[in-house]
Amino acid sequence: MSKNITLAFTLNGEPVSIETRPGRRVLDLLRDDLGLTAAKEGCGSGECGACAVLVDGTARLSCLMLAAQLEGREVITAEGLGTVENPHPLQVEFAAHGAVQCGYCTPGMTVATAELLARAPCPDRDEVREAISGNLCRCTGYVKIVDAVLAAAKAMRGEEP
């Protein structure tokens, strides 16, 4: 039985300090201890992408990370991408394009594509498809998701829709 540790990291721009077991899954830490339920558990084994979060700007699977790994890191969850008042262009376009049906995959989709748009502001359709190839959606058939990401990329470049 391990001792608890005091873990300090940045979560959606705010410093966090929390006492936790070092082997706790990051997904559980976020959802159960910190109340951020955007990241979802689909498979728990890295195959569905529903639990994706940004760690130091890189999209990673929070079901395959342990709490101790977060020490000093900067974590952004889908909640941190934007707010209802000030949404991220991806969130605007997902809503506008009907890219959300049941919504379970949406947080992971927006996190994976936020990473894509940060590194590739002008992706083509194939690049978007590649970027979400680790995120399963069982409702939409992906077409509207890809449309939404391309529209968000356009908006972020300041171009007319």
By CB under 8 A, name the binding residues for other proteins: 1-3, 21-25, 44-47, 49, 52, 58-61, 63-69, 71, 112, 130-131, 133-135
Least distance to other proteins from the beta carbon of 110, Å? 13
- Cβ proximity to other proteins: between 26 and 150 the closer is 26
**Distance (Å, rounded) from C-alpha 159 to C-alpha 161?**
6
Least distance to other proteins from the beta carbon of 46, Å? 6
What single-letter amino acid sits at 28?
D
Least distance to other proteins from the beta carbon of 84, Å? 26
Q: Taking the mean position of all CA atoms in its chain, how far away is CA 43?
A: 16
Q: How many CB atoms lie within 10 A of CB 127?
A: 15
Contacts of 39 (CB under 8 A, 6+ apart): 27, 30, 31, 50, 51, 52, 53, 62, 77, 78, 107, 108
- Cβ proximity to other proteins: between 21 and 154 the closer is 21
- Cβ proximity to other proteins: between 44 and 87 the closer is 44
- Cβ proximity to other proteins: between 23 and 98 the closer is 23
Least distance to other proteins from the beta carbon of 42, Å? 12
Backbone phi, psi, residue 14, to 5° = -110, 140
